[in-house]
Structure 1
Amino acid sequence: MMSQMEKTMKSLLNSEVRSLKEELKEVKESMSFMNAQYEEVLREQEKSKETIKNLQTENNQMQVKIEDLSSRVNQLEQNARMNNVEIQCLPEKRDENLLSTVTKLANVIDCQLTEENVVKCTRIARMNKDSVRPRSIVVQFSTPRIRDQFLAASIKFNKPKPPQDKLNSSHLGMTCTKTPIFITEHLSATNKALHAAARLKAKQKGFKYVWIRGGRIYMRKTDNSEYIIVKDINSLDKIK
């Protein structure tokens, strides 16, 4: 009986051991499979990282190219306006003769100007449709020299006068409410937005002067400080 029991026990143990070996074999195979899958995931992850890195590099390069092209387009648009001035806040009248108004304005500011010097003058659409300001007038002169003379005459006219006597509608004999009239270089849409941002920054940082010359925007904090050229929004962000 002891011998039979020993055989039976050995048989049971051998059966259990074989079963455990099979299970261990399956576990090892599963672990090997999972390890292989994990290694594959790691390889794919590294490939993805490399792809993302390359895409980021390409994106940065494209961004630089886009900024460069945008700058060139803006410069071309500004160059196309080199003969122009923009007259702002001049009251509108029905059936107005803008050419006559511009020549009369030239006489007021003591600028020698004939109708032949004016290629075109027209009102332009408001950038803000809700604005109640009169539409600006864009005047195209025959040459940049005449444009510069007109601008210089307006600056000379205004410089010695107190704010209430600077160029305004009463100088043109208009009977409407006395309103100031501004004469500036005709800026591209990009430069116009940049000029507005520069004026806002100047107000925030206590800058005394913001002006335009040759389609470029300048700022100066005090009478004795160095001027700053505002090339883009990024240059405004650097102003402390």
Structure 2
Amino acid sequence: MSLVQRSPAKSSLHLSDPNLSTSSEVASRNMKRKHPDCELFDAFSSFSAEIKKTLGDWRLDLSTNISHISENINNIRSDLDKLTAATSVIKNEMNELQTNQKELEKRVLTLESNQSSVNKNFTEIQSSTQFLASQNDDFIRKIAILESGKKNTDQTSDAVFILESKIDSLEQQARQCNLELSNVPEKRGENLLSLIESLGTLINLQIQQRDIISVHRVPHAQPDSTRPKNIVVKVSSRILRDNILSAFRLKKGVMANELGLSNNTKHKIYCNEHLTLSNKKLFRECREKAKKCEFKYVWVKHATILARESDHSPVVAIRSHKDLSKIKPRNAGH
């Protein structure tokens, strides 16, 4: 085989010249580029300084704004505290106004109730006034007849008696809502309204002040009497008067010490219809005769005096002195 010869290798000196030349140029270029890098660094530093300054200004402004906001928050809190205190005062005033309103409503209801009672009483008074006016005209006519002398003495006497009876009947009718309490001990500075209320409680019947038209003590028919003055009570209706009398009788006796008026346990208080003087006199005479004739019961109902000999005997009505003859001893008919 024939050997192939290789071409001779190139000189290393010849190869190194171009490389050296190239390295020199690169170094020269690198030295020339250092100037732009310095300018960029300076610009960046200047920009950084401006940013820092701007951030510092922003931080200062933010701190100032936060201080103002904090001050405003404190002011708002103070205003809220004042508003809360004012709201509390307003609530208290509103509660007080509501309480006053309720009290006014109660008073209005009471006034309306009293007004209704007054209207009813006024109507009753008007009716009584009309009746009295008609009766008065009748009296005037009969008195004119008496004065003219058209009747004889007996007729005149009868007419006078009739007139007196009618007058007494009218007086008694005017007292149809009245009660008379007797033997009630007197006390200086006494409150009769409270006394009547306490009496109602004692007999288990509620008596309110608005039900009492008037209450007062009356002088004795005999000035030298040592007994307490009687108490006359006018109530709002005849029904209430009758209910009080019934409750008093069911109690079967009220003692003065039960009302705190006396220490004497035997001091009894009496409650009756308010009679005229002539009817009181007739009632007293009727009781005296009934006691003698051993009658068991004598009482008054609707201004009429009634008597009964025993539980099974008939009731006798006593309207005049002539009727006292109806009360006889048990053996008088034998």
Give the TM-score, by structure 1 length: 0.72
CA change 1:172–1:229 in 2 (3 A) is same
Could you tell me how far 1:78 is from its partner in structure 2? Answer: 0.5
Could you tell me how far 1:112 is from its partner in structure 2? Answer: 1.7
Q: What is the match of residue 300 of structure 2?
A: 212
Structure with more of its chain in helix, by fraction: 2
For residue 259 of structure 2, the aligned residue among 154, 172, 194 is: 172
- CA RMSD for the aligned pairs? 1.4
Q: What is the match of residue 222 of structure 1?
A: 310
Residue by residue over 1:209-235, the C-alpha shift from the partner in whole angstroms, topping out at 9 and shown as x without a partner, is 000000000011111100100010111
- Runs of 4 or more, structure 1, over 6 Å off, are none
Q: What is the match of residue 167 of structure 2?
A: 73
CA distance in 1, matches of 2:315, 2:262: 40
Letter matched to residue 167 of structure 1: V
Q: What is the match of residue 196 of structure 2?
A: 102
CA change 1:235–1:107 in 2 (3 A) is same
SS at match of 2:162: helix
Q: Establish whether residue 115 from structure 1 lines up as the match of residue 209 from structure 2.
A: yes
CA distance in 2, matches of 1:117, 1:223: 36
Does the 8 A contact of 2:287 with 2:298 survive in 1? yes
Could you tell me how far 1:142 is from its partner in structure 2? Answer: 0.8
SS at match of 2:194: helix
Residue by residue over 1:149-197, the C-alpha shift from the partner in whole angstroms, topping out at 9 and shown as x without a partner, is 1111101111xxxxxxx21111112343231000000001111110001
| Structure-to-structure mapping, 1:1-240, within 5 angstroms | 58-158=152-252, 166-178=253-265, 179-240=267-328
SS at match of 1:181: strand
Does the 8 A contact of 2:185 with 2:262 survive in 1? no
Residue by residue over 1:126-168, the C-alpha shift from the partner in whole angstroms, topping out at 9 and shown as x without a partner, is 112222111000000011111111111101111xxxxxxx211
Greater RCO, CA 8 A, separation 6+: 1
Residue by residue over 1:77-132, the C-alpha shift from the partner in whole angstroms, topping out at 9 and shown as x without a partner, is 00000000000001000010001101110110011210000000000001122221
Does the 8 A contact of 2:196 with 2:207 survive in 1? no
Give the TM-score, by structure 2 length: 0.52
Residue-pair matches, total: 178
SS at match of 1:138: strand
Max Rg structure: 2
SS at match of 1:210: strand
SS at match of 2:172: helix
SS at match of 1:112: coil
Does the 8 A contact of 2:316 with 2:326 survive in 1? no
Q: What is the match of residue 57 of structure 2?
A: none
What is the identity percentage for the equivalent residue pairs of Structure 1 and Structure 2? 34
Q: Which runs of 5+ in 1 are unaligned?
A: 1-54, 159-165
CA distance in 1, matches of 2:263, 2:157: 50
SS at match of 2:250: helix
Q: What is the match of residue 25 of structure 1?
A: none
